[in-house]
């Protein structure tokens, strides 16, 4: 998969500009606050259907502009695809693929795949479980756009159940309503959890292989999904998970009512990461944390290739400087001739010479590309 053309209007600090990138390595150079990261964010936006930074659409709209537009042409093995995404202050956003309006935005999500790796991903190891759950969910949503709707539905059901839990402290009648919400939460949550378990079962093998290579064979990465209802990757059957989830919710109800929150379910799960048998969150060095994050992102890229038959775009947003020279060289060597990659950096320093010789250099200054 390759991005042949990108056109931006009123996106962040890009008033009206376009890009015809190279098919291999593209290095985006510029001082801070000139628009390097904004360019990569725009590409990721088409893949995710929203900003990968988690901000609202209004916040990526240029100051006082009534709309922003992202247009792109993508080359796949099966042919070319055109994307036209527009966001308007008063009307929201809509997406056209090959000129055909998508009735729901998530119908277009995942047609163009990208893996985005930014400095905030270095917190995947030592950060809170929410970041690791979001990492998994965003990856699954790219391969199965309807999964995002499942996540949103689960969150809505969870909010409603938590609201009832707080009411149930003073009303026995309300507590009986929980049976209805528990049934719905189990139905949606079990499908969500099954997808996560299936993904981790494959991802952990690929991530371990990548980590072994990037650590020079000295470290063994173990990735495991820790479920608060006791499910594991060996048993992904939705019916089994439903039974398990329903049982755990029933056991936890009294405690849930006392605390006013749902204490078990996919929203409380975590992704555990170990190096040579030791919990990475507690014992890994900064260098090890970076290698783990890199390995997870490489695994994400490989899983997309296995599912779609094509490598996704790779967006390295100001992270090369966070890796040591060995890992930088190994990563760029691995993707040469196979992946279209966009690397943002403030200077050429730290970028391996071999990579610079092969790369297309894109300069950014005050939202202008050259």
Q: Which pLDDT tens digit goes with each residue over 268-292?
A: 999 999 999 999 999 999 889 999 9
CA dihedral 159, 110, 336, 303 (to 10 degrees): 60
Provide the pLDDT for residue 224. 97
What percentage of the chain exceeds 90 in pLDDT?
Answer: 79
Provide the pLDDT for residue 233. 83
Which H or E run includes 245? Answer: helix 238-259
Provide the pLDDT for residue 345. 94
- The correct CATH number of 123-307 out of 1.20.1050.90, 3.40.190.10, 3.50.50.60, 3.40.630.30 is 1.20.1050.90
3-state secondary structure of 366: coil
Alpha-carbon separation of residue 201 from 48, 53, 113, 147 (angstroms): 23, 27, 21, 18
pLDDT at 105 over 70: no
Average pLDDT in the 149-174 region?
91
**Mean pLDDT for the chain?**
93
Going by pLDDT thresholds of 50, 70 and 90, the confidence category of residue 104 is: low
Going by pLDDT thresholds of 50, 70 and 90, the confidence category of residue 81 is: very high
What percentage of the chain exceeds 70 in pLDDT?
Answer: 98
Q: How, if at all, do strands 92-97 and 100-101 pair? A: antiparallel
Alpha-carbon separation of residue 158 from 153, 165, 184, 228, 317 (angstroms): 9, 10, 10, 15, 34
User: What are the tokens at 256?
Assistant: 């849930």
> Whole-model pTM?
0.93
Rounded CA-CA distance 3/313 in Å is 8
Contacts 24+ apart (CB under 8 A), 100-109: 105/49, 106/49, 106/141, 106/145, 106/146, 106/148, 106/149, 107/145, 108/49, 108/83, 108/145, 109/47, 109/48, 109/49, 109/141, 109/142, 109/145, 109/148
User: What are the tokens at 200?
Assistant: 């981790």
Average pLDDT in the 132-153 region?
93
Provide the pLDDT for residue 2. 95
Going by pLDDT thresholds of 50, 70 and 90, the confidence category of residue 321 is: confident
Who's near 230: CB < 8 A, 6+ residues apart?
244, 248
Which H or E run includes 294? Answer: helix 286-308
């Amino acid at each position: 998969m390759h991005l042949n053309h990108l056109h931006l209007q009123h996106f962040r600090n890009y008033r009206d500009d376009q890009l015809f990138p190279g098919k291999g390595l593209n290095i985006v150079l510029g001082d801070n606050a000139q628009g390097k990261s904004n360019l990569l964010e725009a590409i990721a936006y088409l893949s995710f259907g929203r900003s990968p930074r988690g901000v609202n659409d209004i916040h990526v709209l240029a100051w006082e502009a009534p709309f922003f537009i992202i247009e792109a042409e993508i080359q796949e093995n099966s042919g070319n695809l055109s994307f036209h995404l527009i966001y308007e202050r008063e009307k929201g956003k809509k997406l056209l693929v090959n000129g055909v309006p998508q009735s729901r935005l998530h119908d277009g999500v995942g047609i163009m795949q990208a893996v985005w790796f930014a400095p905030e991903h270095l917190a995947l190891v030592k950060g809170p479980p929410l970041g690791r759950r979001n990492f998994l969910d965003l990856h699954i949503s790219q391969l199965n756009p309807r999964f995002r709707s499942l996540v949103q539905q689960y969150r809505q059901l969870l909010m409603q159940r938590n609201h009832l839990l707080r009411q149930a402290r003073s009303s026995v009648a309300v507590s009986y309503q929980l049976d209805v919400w528990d049934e719905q939460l189990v139905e949606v949550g079990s499908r969500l959890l099954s997808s996560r378990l299936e993904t981790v079962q494959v991802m952990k093998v690929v991530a371990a292989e990548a980590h072994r290579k990037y650590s020079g064979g000295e470290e063994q990465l173990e990735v495991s999904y820790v479920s608060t209802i006791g499910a594991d990757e060996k048993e992904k059957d939705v019916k089994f998970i439903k039974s398990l989830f329903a049982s755990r919710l029933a056991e936890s109800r009294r405690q849930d009512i006392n605390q006013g929150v749902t204490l078990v379910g996919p929203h409380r799960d975590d992704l555990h990461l170990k190096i040579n048998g030791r919990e990475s969150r507690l014992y890994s060095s900064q260098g090890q944390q970076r290698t783990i994050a890199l390995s997870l992102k490489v695994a994400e890229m490989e899983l997309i290739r296995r599912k779609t038959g094509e490598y996704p775009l790779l967006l390295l947003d100001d992270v090369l400087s966070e890796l040591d020279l060995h890992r930088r060289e190994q990563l760029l060597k691995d993707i040469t001739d196979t992946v279209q990659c966009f690397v943002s950096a403030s200077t050429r320093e730290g970028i391996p010479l071999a990579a610079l010789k092969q790369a297309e250099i894109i300069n950014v200054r005050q939202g202008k590309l050259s």
